[in-house]
Structure 1
Amino acid sequence: MTFEFLKKRSFWVSTARYLVAAFLFNLPFVYARHEINMRVAEINLDYLVLVLLYIVAGRFLAGVGFFLVYVVEILKVFDKIYFFTQEDLAYAVRFAFQVQTGTLIGGVSAALLFCALFTYLWLKVLPGRDGVRLGLWAAAPSAVLMVLLLGVDTLKGYNPITRSGGQRWGTHLVGETFYRTSMYIVASLRYDPPPGTPIPSASDVLRPLKGDNRYAKLNIVQVLVESMGLQLNAGEGTREFAMFHSPEILQRYRLTEGSVPFDGPTVPGQLRELCGLQLGVRVDASVAAQSERCLPRQLRSLGYDTEAIHGYTGSMFHRSIWYRDFGFQKSVFLEQMKDTPGMHVCEGAFEGICDADIAQMIHKQLLASRKHPLFVHWMTLNSHLPVEEEGAPEYSCPTGYAEDVCNQLGYVHVALESIAKIAADPTIPPTTFVIVGDHAPPYIEGEKRNLYDQANVPYLLLQPKSASEAAGGSGSLEMPHQKNGVLRP
């Protein structure tokens, strides 16, 4: 074998181009992951595999492969931003077409354009093909460097073959995307959700033992406020719940503020509060089988009427199905409310009934004469990112907060204010209110995410006082006190 090609400048230019193609095109995702504090490998093995595919099979197959890898990379960043696991994201993709058409088309178009642009640039970087043998020799330095980096990972305690093992320091250098994510997608098609793991919730105080009738006098309103995160600016976090410190409310309620951990997007947040379990987005028969420990069934056994309300369509994440399976006697969605007098549709990522209108509906239900106490579970909607900018509620933000952050806080404020108005009404019967966030706002930019705790959400609990307690006495209704509350600063 002759190695005359080593003397040619064109060979070394090809070598350099293969190095760039194998190691530098992961940089946009390295930057994005660092922005959202996502610990991942800095080098993606997939790009070296694509270089070899180009050498052996040509430009078309390699280009298609690169485009698909970039799509998967974007999805991995997306699942981190929105607190999905990869299995949950693979399941949730089927609901994408229920997002507002403009938002969906804009987001998908931008992502595909980004992938197409970088596919074009990657193909431009690649040298011309000059036979498989010369191509493999030119790519050999890239392969050797990748092996050395894998060796460093092995020395650090990480097994790059099984993708397992601890890290003695830092994070591993080399990872891969396409194969592993493809396996997640395949697994999601036959995915059986694991049994729920107990997790603290703001609603732990509501969980009665079967046959316990201490709740007989109390209505319960459980509100999950969409994307209400725990602000790290202590002053702003305190101001968020300031409206509940009015004399009208403090005279009638014991007030507890705290925080609870969250793990996942909205549906896991709902299941955390309904069941005290850590579960995923997919709610099927195996999850519904655990519903005996969830509030709707427990409270129904005590004679409660149970109702779930959400301003968007009931088909989203199959809420109309699992609400029923979990023991809600009545479920109300956009389909039932859109033609009801007094109900208006608000724009946003999900076009649905305005939160303030739903609050008024709940207010009327509490005032209505009824034979049984009422348990209402309300998942709000309008503060879901991206929020509607035109006509956003006015909200006094601190200096330096971005406009979209202020707009989102404004929508959260509207939901909280509407609940405070209900609680302050002296004519409603004794009612316990649990108000809690589902997850932190899923901002893309690091400086916006850093305004919020990425592991905990705030809650507020209003427990009605007895007549003697409200008058300054020591008596109280039989409502257990919140345990392990984490007081907000």
Structure 2
Amino acid sequence: MAGLTLASAFEYIINAFNLEISRVDALQEFIVNARPLASLEYLAGGAILLVALFFAVRGAGRTERFGPVWNWMLGFVAVLGLAQADSLATAATSNTYRGLPAAGTPFHSAVNANGIATPGKRKRNLVVILVEALGRPVFPEGRKLFEADWHRTEWNGRYTVSSGEIPYFGSTTNGELRELCGVYSNYDAFDFEHRPCMPGRYAKAGYDTLAIHAFDGKFFDRAAWWPRAGFAHTMFRRQLEEGGARKCGGMWPGACDVDIAGQIGHRLKTAGKPQFIYWVTLNTHLPVLAGATPGMGGCEDGTAPLAGMGLMRCRLFVAYHDVAQAISVLAMDPDLPPTDFLIVGDHMPPFMNRNERLAFDGYTVPWIFLQSKDHAPESGTPAS
């Protein structure tokens, strides 16, 4: 009984974050790196689990064994009925729990959609930003905020702006391989040595390649597999904080994304060769708690957008705005050399609440491509 209870809880958490059921190591990484006790949602879930586990184990020894055959039949029908009721109740969100697709599924990525999988002849700087949990909102208030953050009119003077959406599968690292290596796969099953990825191609073309994440490099083994994907340099929490980034808290403590954008800008302005910079954001990782980003506030007192639509949803959009604003300041820096920016989501926000999941497209994630107008267009043609 205890094993079944814990196993079902583990499977739910794995599915909620779109991880493969074989990723038992993810639980260990979660316990070591995250701060689940900082989240009231996780505390409440843990308390409910422990109470349920206590009564299940306590009552299991007192339950009489089934006698007549009709007792077994009734129990069997009851289990099937409950399973069917659960399937009907969760049908609307069943697609949002998405692992890797079946073999032969047509492949799509924002990198391919914009023709930047290989470097162009003019060797402009390229910054690819994978925004943690950037989903496509489908409710009117969310769409309005999304448009304000990711379709800014001021960008049009300096960039050719295009946007779209692509299917997503799996968790953040699956989204990384989708964009970097053009494949739906897990990083621990991918043959980096024999299948060249995007950073390796850019490095071969003379680019300096850098990958950035505000968390610890051991999390999902990025410090090991990012160099195998072709990155010459990596920067994680410690290096970013030593470079001046503030510390952001919450459940996923690390360097503040809003300060990382400034460090990227400094590198682009002082580099002696073309740059390919890849940045995986952190502060929009669910659950978004107080302290997760410097601009967090207003969701508790009702002054922030979406304050009346739930604390978690409100905080997520505040964190979205902070990241979008930092990227915009970077992109519009008058001293910035010609640089293209690709902004793309890894997966939809993995809310535990069903209504909050339904507030986002459960099939696709958005991308926005800013192509610098300082030079003629590259050979690849941006999608629209």
TM-score class, shorter-chain normalisation, is 0.7 to 0.9
- 2:276 is equivalent to residue 380 of structure 1: no
- 2:341 is equivalent to residue 433 of structure 1: yes
Letter in 2 for 1:339: E
| Helix, strand or coil at the partner of 1:257 | strand
- 2:8 is equivalent to residue 73 of structure 1: yes
User: Paired residue for 1:299, among 202, 206, 223?
Assistant: 202
1:121 match? 55
2:188 match? 284
1:47 match? none
Task: Tell me if structure 2 keeps the 8 A contact 1:310–1:380.
Answer: yes
Task: Tell me if structure 2 keeps the 8 A contact 1:271–1:277.
Answer: yes
- Structure 1 position 71, deviation (Å): 0.9
- Structure 1 position 113, deviation (Å): 4.3
Structure of higher RCO (CA pairs closer than 8 Å, 6+ residues apart): 2
Letter in 2 for 1:401: M
2:70 match? 141
Q: Aligned partners of 1:404, 1:149: CA distance in 2, in Å?
A: 35
- 2:27 is equivalent to residue 93 of structure 1: yes
1:174-232 Cα distance to aligned partner (Å, 9 max, x none): xxxxxxxxxxxxxxxxxxxx9997621111124455xxx63433100000111111100
User: Paired residue for 2:378, among 468, 473, 478?
Assistant: 478
Q: Aligned partners of 1:96, 1:354: CA distance in 2, in Å?
A: 20
Letter in 2 for 1:83: N
- Structure 1 position 236, deviation (Å): 3.0
2:161 match? 255
Q: Aligned partners of 1:349, 1:356: CA distance in 2, in Å?
A: 17
User: Paired residue for 2:238, among 330, 335, 344?
Assistant: 335
- 2:251 is equivalent to residue 349 of structure 1: yes
| Helix, strand or coil at the partner of 2:382 | coil
- Structure 2 unpaired stretches of 5+: 89-101, 299-303
| TM-score (norm: length of structure 1) | 0.66
- Structure 1 position 94, deviation (Å): 2.6
2:94 match? none
Letter in 2 for 1:422: L
1:35 match? none
* 1:257–1:328 Cα change, 3 Å: same
1:320 match? 223
Q: Aligned partners of 2:360, 2:269: CA distance in 1, in Å?
A: 36
* 1:71–1:151 Cα change, 3 Å: closer
- Structure 1 unpaired stretches of 5+: 1-65, 153-166, 173-193, 468-475
Letter in 1 for 2:203: R
| Helix, strand or coil at the partner of 2:365 | strand
User: Paired residue for 1:310, among 210, 213, 224?
Assistant: 213
Task: Tell me if structure 2 keeps the 8 A contact 1:98–1:316.
Answer: no
- 2:23 is equivalent to residue 84 of structure 1: no
Q: Aligned partners of 2:249, 2:329: CA distance in 1, in Å?
A: 23
2:92 match? none
Q: Aligned partners of 1:115, 1:265: CA distance in 2, in Å?
A: 24
Task: Tell me if structure 1 keeps the 8 A contact 2:130–2:176.
Answer: yes
| Helix, strand or coil at the partner of 2:242 | coil
Q: CA RMSD of the aligned region, Å?
A: 3.2
User: Paired residue for 2:296, among 379, 382, 393?
Assistant: 393
Letter in 2 for 1:84: L
Q: Aligned partners of 1:74, 1:151: CA distance in 2, in Å?
A: 20
**Correspondence list, 1:100-119, <5 A:** 100-101=34-35, 103=37, 113-119=47-53
1:358-384 Cα distance to aligned partner (Å, 9 max, x none): 0000011111141x2100000001111
| Helix, strand or coil at the partner of 1:377 | strand
Q: Aligned partners of 1:441, 1:225: CA distance in 2, in Å?
A: 11
Q: Aligned partners of 1:145, 1:199: CA distance in 2, in Å?
A: 46
* 1:247–1:286 Cα change, 3 Å: closer
Q: Aligned partners of 1:416, 1:218: CA distance in 2, in Å?
A: 22
* 1:114–1:375 Cα change, 3 Å: same
Letter in 2 for 1:410: V
- Structure 1 position 437, deviation (Å): 1.1
Q: Aligned partners of 2:270, 2:3: CA distance in 1, in Å?
A: 56
Q: Aligned partners of 1:241, 1:366: CA distance in 2, in Å?
A: 27
1:350-407 Cα distance to aligned partner (Å, 9 max, x none): 111100110000011111141x210000000111112222565257424742122111
**Correspondence list, 1:389-468, <5 A:** 389-390=290-291, 392-394=295-297, 396-398=304-306, 400-466=308-374
1:366 match? 268
Give the total of aligned pairs: 361
* 1:310–1:127 Cα change, 3 Å: closer
1:411-465 Cα distance to aligned partner (Å, 9 max, x none): 1111111111111123211111000111111111111111111121111100112
Q: Aligned partners of 1:124, 1:239: CA distance in 2, in Å?
A: 50
- Structure 1 position 67, deviation (Å): 1.4
Q: Which moved more, 1:313-322 or 1:68-77?
A: 68-77
Larger Rg over CA atoms = 1
* 1:114–1:249 Cα change, 3 Å: closer
| Helix, strand or coil at the partner of 2:285 | coil
Percent identity reads 27
* 1:464–1:248 Cα change, 3 Å: same
1:214 match? 120
Letter in 2 for 1:299: Y
Task: Tell me if structure 1 keeps the 8 A contact 2:39–2:251.
Answer: no
Task: Tell me if structure 2 keeps the 8 A contact 1:229–1:457.
Answer: yes
- Structure 1 position 237, deviation (Å): 2.6
* 1:312–1:151 Cα change, 3 Å: closer
1:240-297 Cα distance to aligned partner (Å, 9 max, x none): 24355555421121101111111111111111111221113xx2364424541x2101
- Structure 1 position 83, deviation (Å): 1.5
